[in-house]
Structure 1
Amino acid sequence: MTALAEAAALRPLSLAEVNALASLTLRSCRKYVVPAGLLPVLLEHMERDFGVLCEGGRTAFRYSSAYLDTPDLLTFRQHRQQRRRRFKIRTRSYLDSDLTMLEAKLKGARGVTDKRRTPHDGRPGELTPAGAAFLRDVLDEYGAAPPRPLRVAAVTDYRRTTLVELSGTERITCDTGLVCRHAGQVATMREDLVLLEVKTRHGMTGTERLLHRHGVRPVGFSKYAAAVAVVNPGMGANRWSRVLRRCFDG
């Protein structure tokens, strides 16, 4: 995508620099569906104060996430019902670096997200004994029992560009080419849209105020929920129906 390629004009940052500046594993997250044509405006706004993750000359990286859930989709249903305490479990593969992590995303007080992760020692979507022990410890601390049995419920693939405010207060991910797979079905996000997520420990950011001035408001969007709901309307995804129709309209 041309507009995202222009992010290479920002100051290049290594992964170590990005994590040192803004790891933000405990954060507030707000998501926006942004027309690709608006990205040059955002990048101009970021020109002086932001850097871009750059490894091996690349600023866009391939991700693949395998979400683990019970056969009756317990964690999906908890998310759909907006349970105050809920979590998601996935393996995330960084395809350009041959690395896979096991992650648990915990919803905390005031909607704050707490992401816990550990290196994964098995195949994507496989829950190894070490992984099971990690989840047991994390969820025990959270006050929840690990759901059983767990299996791969959905897979999402996409490309990500990561932008970081040099002060460390804001980290923005820009995802394109999203492909969702669930129950043998496949859905692909429109190419003229970008899923942008603002991660911060603070309130409204300058980037978000700029988005608001251009009529872009935050949306409720989960890649896992999209992977399940967009190919299976019978799952009761009414709260996401408008944004899913916009993103996956053919």
Structure 2
Amino acid sequence: MTALSDRPGGPGVDGRATHATRHHSGHRAQGWTAHLAPIGLEELVETAALLTRVDRKYVVPEQELPDLLAAVPERTRVLEIEGSRAFGYRSDYLDTPALDAFWLAGQGRRRRFKVRERTYLDTGTTYLEVKVPGPRGTNLKERVLRAHRGPLDDGEQQFLDERLRAARVPDHVRVEGLAPALVSSYRRTTLLLAGDEPGTDSRATLDTDLVWALPGAHASRLPVTDRVVVETKTGSTPSALDRLLWARGHRPVRISKFGTGLAALDPALPRLRWHRVLERDLGLPRR
């Protein structure tokens, strides 16, 4: 198995998107970014793969996106593949029966972890990913291509076990016990933001049409409407988009598609460090 860099692949937690949904989401993304020059996938990965990075996340009302993107620097480029600028993602998050990943992340523990199976819905390509904290506030993500969906094979279990042990995740967390805990789907537009100095380019993603669901054909699901999750992925220096967001009164928030989604869907779970973003930014007060 070979670790690969971050690549895009419409929404719908069952892995299927209707033509109308894809068209609507793609049309919005095309309109927001019509003034930006395109960049191809290979050039984007080569320029700013950023698998070890500082992530800053924001929740922005969708109505603000046109003005925000109109103000980005002229050298900003948008990922375009075969004329499309928005791509469907599905993430199946894995956790232990005791929800160790949820609790470690929600309590801000240093030795937290995240494991997911990510599928790019436009291509059907699936990866197994593990994400752990890196040095000095960075995040480290590694991943391997999956040849199949479903239970992990021996090689995939070994890959995860080696990464979790290297990250000093608590010993009681066993790879063999990982099982689906949450599904999220969304559509993503990716920007390349040119830095002021060589080697300081960064990326940003705009996620729309987010839907959270518990595993199972008839489980609860929760669409997040009229909100865009903006994530900047930089080195140590904030990007031009970060500065634009700050100037408009937006500050980074604690949002995790896994932790926040699970806390929103399961009323038996505490909201931990995600209570403010759920109530203030997403408009989801506890019932």
Alignment TM-score, normalising by the size of structure 1: 0.92
Range 43-52 or range 2-11, more displaced: 2-11
> Displacement, 1:234?
2.5
Separation in 2, partners of 1:8, 1:129:
46
- What is the aligned counterpart of 1:163 among 188, 191, 195? 191
Equivalent position of 1:152 in the other structure = 180
1:199 CA drift (Å): 0.5
Q: C-alpha distance in 2, partners of 1:82/1:47?
A: 34
Counterpart of 2:163, as a letter, is: V
Question: 1:208 is matched by which residue type in structure 2?
Answer: D
Query: Shift of residue 248 of structure 1?
Result: 5.2
CA distance in 1, matches of 2:154, 2:194: 39
Instruction: Work out which of the residue numbers 93, 106, 111 in structure 2 matches 1:80.
Output: 106
**Alpha carbons of structure 1 residues 39 and 194: separation in structure 2 relative to 1, 3 Å:** same
Aligned counterparts of 1:46 and 1:95: Cα–Cα separation in 2: 28
**Could you tell me which residue of structure 1 aligns to residue 251 of structure 2?**
217
Write out aligned runs for 1:88-99 (5 A): 88-99=114-125
Measured after TM superposition, the shift of residue 127 of structure 1 is 1.5
Alignment of 1:187 onto 2:226: no
- Greater mean alpha carbon deviation, residues 196-205 or residues 5-14: 5-14
Match of 2:207 among 152, 175, 185: 175
Q: 3-state DSSP class of the match of 2:166?
A: helix
8 A contact 1:8–1:59 mirrored in 2: no
Cα distance in 2 between the residues matched to 1:166 and 1:11: 12
In structure 1, distance between residues paired with 2:264 and 2:283? 8
The question of 1:127 aligning with 2:152 is answered yes
Higher strand share: 1
Give identity over the alignment, percent. Answer: 38
> Runs of 5+ in structure 2 lacking a partner?
1-24
Distance in 2, Cα, partners of 1:138 & 1:94: 23
- Aligned-partner Cα distance in 2 for 1:71–1:249: 26
Q: Aligned partners of 2:160 and 2:130: how far apart in 1?
A: 7
How does the TM-score come out when normalised to structure 2? 0.81
1:224 positional shift:
0.3
Return 5+ residue gaps in structure 1 as ranges. none
Count of residues paired in the alignment:
248
How far has the Cα of 1:39 moved from its partner?
1.4
